[in-house]
Structure 1
Amino acid sequence: KSLLRLKPKGREHLRRLLNWEEFDEVRDSRQSILLDTLYESIIFAVGKGFPWVEVTKVVKFTEELLKETKGCSITEAVTILGNKLRDYQGQFNTTHLLALCDYFHNTFIRHYKLYQYVLGQDQEVNLTVTHLEVCAPPHPLPLAEGMDRDIWQLEQQMAELNMAEVQKRTNMLLLKEALHLEQEHKLQKTFLEVPEQPSRVLKREVRLCL
């Protein structure tokens, strides 16, 4: 588990030592897998007790092997691996050389077609990115500000009763207003239905006394 936690930092440190530019792990899968392969070769060498001088040579060996076997058949790859092991005889002791041979036979040669498919040709990456907004839960209040559940339920019931009373009064006011408007409407209608009375013309005789 500790190695898994350290792997991202270890890979990043190795990338810098190799003077590689930063790359997208998803879009550039070839570079990512190549870095993984080199990193795993370091983990193997350290685990087998290789001195640090030889660990760097294992990384170089791995790089050269991947480069020289690109596009080759598996038979050619086995031959190239054997020749390289002979070339490196003077740089590793017998125990470490045999361990290196077993490591590449059990990893690189066993999964050779997969390595060739991934590292030997460009891969088309279809990447869909979806941004999701994640809302964190609210921070809980201090326990000292809490209350007993029975008291909380009682307060909730009181609040519901108060709300019902307010709603009842509101409905009564609306009903009164509706009745008032209806009465006004009836009065106005009655007034309009009453026929107009003809006006009387009063004649007066005005006598002027001189």
Structure 2
Amino acid sequence: MDSKGSLTEREIAHIARHQRENGVQRLSCHFSWPEFCDERRCFHQEFVYDVAMFAAARGFPWFNVIRASVIAKGIFPQLGAGLDVPKLLYLLRDALSECLPNLTSVHRREFTQFLTDTCITRRRLLQAVVGGAANMSIAQLHLEVQLPPTPCPLAQGTDLHEWEHQRQQAELTSTLRKMEERLRSLREGSRVTLGEVDVPEVNQLDEEGVLALVRAAVKATEGQMLASLNREASLLNDILQLKLQRAALATRRLHNPAYIQTHLQKRTEGFWEKDMASVIFLKSHFQLS
């Protein structure tokens, strides 16, 4: 057994009652550590302590706790880069058969599971430690980013961009209001006049005369109606463009052209369909006539 002979059952029981740091130091005093002479020795000692304390916590007899620490001390230096999983399993099996042949089946299963989980799931980490990665230095680069100074807030007044935004909004709103007023006047006013139609006396009209008078009136007012409808369509188009410009200006701060286009289309579809449907219908009716 690789110990100085001073690790007795009474001593290991006393070590198990210590805090971790004191327990590692006291347990390490009972072994010689020729395997490593650098920082890896500390990892080696902590590994032995953890295995021994696991055995003690599972109720192993104290002499088996001592043997568990001996197994851990012998296994750790062999966990280098050249040890793959099958070799590691063989190593654990041989160590258990040699040092702990009289374990109960329950303790053997628990101890085997603990060593397997510790050495296999943390295999790469243990290989790095045993291989000397603990002594590798890590160079860290310090990156410093200097930002421009924050300007002082305005004591009074309006930001230039905000002022320009408000001015453009006011101009568009004023122009739009004038266009809508012209459209309202056009729709409420008379679209045609019958001054060019010669209307005879009522007692001089028969059925054919009435039909002829109606045809003459329609022919005389057709050009006036088409011109009026064209003016209304032009006003509707101008109003639509102004509304699009005003909405785009209001949402420019979002910096999302796709969002603006999609939502403006939804907002203006109803307006365009409602106001233009009657114009298109009347215009096509007079053209067909």
How does the TM-score come out when normalised to structure 1? Answer: 0.50
| Structure having the larger proportion of residues in helix | 2
How does the TM-score come out when normalised to structure 2? Answer: 0.37
